[in-house]
Copies of this chain bind each other. A is one copy, B any other.
């Protein structure tokens, strides 16, 4: 079938109608797209910030839609099912990582919007194992960012295996940080969110965290060795050492984003009278996705989003690029 998408044909170009041919394979499903988010990462990729973008590019990797057609081998889904898709179109399901249930590390995987055309389109075809049934509770634009941002922070948190009632910190209160605060709060932990923006205090409190102004000197030293866990969603430079110091001796620091530049670190803070850990997390497995969607549905975890229509996609991309939109942006397909 000929799929109508919205592609960027060259660096600096605008999204415009772009058609490609794609049939539905044995294990695949075709989805009619209802929502697709545009995130900062998409816009950086559109702008070729990392120098490896291949054009034409169809961005978008947080997608909600309904199944239209299923391949002959698909039994888990049927036409009409509401599904979410995030990040992966396919994986090999044969390598060491896939066999261990970690398809997110498969070297043969196709990442949506990077290795194949993405969700800024009328339809998309993906392996049925990467289309996740959505509870009716998640049928709204506010759930769209769960599919990649939500998965990333949820999996990063779960990996820490936190004891109940831990003291935890969230660095940054943007799209990732707002979701991390909610997950941690609903898991019952005592949550502190660090932000440079005093105007985010009320929002942070509403999401379930205490606000700490991270630009205020002295604030951090008072918190010495207080935290079991910190998750950093920051993509700007920050003083990593200062945050390592406020971790308890066996505390864990999870990074799900980072500045493009190298960071500097005093390695001694990891072992001196301590056994501290820094680890990264990259999206999550299919099992993590199912767990995360279930947790989010049961606890009403949603993103704060601005909704625009597909017809406004170029204005939307520009708003994300300039930082004019402070919360997550989701495009609704009204065709």
Which residues of A pack against B, CB within 8 Å?
A: 97, 102, 104-105, 107, 159, 241, 249-250, 255-256, 258-260, 262-282
A159, A250, A266, A271 — most chain B CB neighbours (10 Å): A271
Bound-state Cα–Cα, A102 to B271, Å: 14
Whether the pair A278, B275 counts as a contact (CB closer than 8 A) is no
A250, A256, A259, A260 — most chain B CB neighbours (10 Å): A250
Which of B263, B269, B271 touches A264 (beta carbons < 8 Å)? Answer: B263
Which of B97, B255, B256, B274 touches A280 (beta carbons < 8 Å)? Answer: B274
Whether the pair A279, B278 counts as a contact (CB closer than 8 A) is yes
Which of B266, B269, B275, B278 touches A277 (beta carbons < 8 Å)? Answer: B278
Q: Which residues of B contact A270 (CB under 8 A)?
A: 255, 258, 278-280
Which of B249, B264, B266, B267 touches A102 (beta carbons < 8 Å)? Answer: B249
Query: What are 27 residue pairs bridging A and B, where the CB atoms are less than 8 Å apart in the complex?
Result: A104-B273, A105-B249, A105-B274, A105-B275, A249-B282, A255-B267, A255-B271, A259-B267, A262-B264, A262-B265, A262-B266, A263-B265, A263-B266, A263-B267, A264-B264, A270-B279, A270-B280, A272-B280, A275-B280, A275-B281, A276-B280, A277-B278, A277-B279, A277-B280, A278-B278, A278-B279, A279-B279
Query: Knowing that A276-B280, A277-B279 are A-B contacts, what are 13 other residue pairs whose CB atoms are under 8 Å apart, sorted by A's residue number?
Result: A102-B249, A104-B273, A107-B273, A255-B267, A255-B270, A258-B268, A270-B279, A271-B280, A274-B282, A275-B280, A275-B281, A277-B278, A278-B278
Q: Which residues of B contact A267 (CB under 8 A)?
A: 255, 258-259, 262-263, 280
Q: Which residues of B contact A268 (CB under 8 A)?
A: 258, 260, 280
Shortest Cβ distance from residue A119 to the other chain B in the assembled complex, whole angstroms? 20
Whether the pair B271, A281 counts as a contact (CB closer than 8 A) is yes
Known contacts A249-B97, A267-B255: A282-B275 contact under CB 8 Å: yes
Bound-state Cα–Cα, A51 to B208, Å: 44
Which of B105, B264, B266, B273 touches A105 (beta carbons < 8 Å)? Answer: B273
Bound-state Cα–Cα, A269 to B280, Å: 8
Whether the pair A256, B282 counts as a contact (CB closer than 8 A) is no
Known contacts A255-B271, A267-B259: A279-B276 contact under CB 8 Å: yes
Which of B259, B266, B271 touches A282 (beta carbons < 8 Å)? Answer: B271
For the complex of A and B, list the 10 residue pairs with the smallest distance between their C-beta atoms, beginning with the closest.
A271-B280, A270-B280, A258-B267, A105-B249, A277-B279, A262-B264, A271-B282, A278-B278, A264-B264, A258-B268
Q: Which residues of B contact A273 (CB under 8 A)?
A: 104-105, 107, 282
Q: Which residues of B contact A280 (CB under 8 A)?
A: 267-272, 274-277
Shortest Cβ distance from residue A167 to the other chain B in the assembled complex, whole angstroms? 12
Q: Which residues of B contact A275 (CB under 8 A)?
A: 105, 159, 279-282
Shortest Cβ distance from residue A90 to the other chain B in the assembled complex, whole angstroms? 15
Bound-state Cα–Cα, A278 to B262, Å: 16
Q: Which residues of B contact A249 (CB under 8 A)?
A: 97, 102, 105, 282
* A262: nearest chain-B partner, CB-CB: B264
Bound-state Cα–Cα, A313 to B280, Å: 47
Q: Which residues of B contact A269 (CB under 8 A)?
A: 280
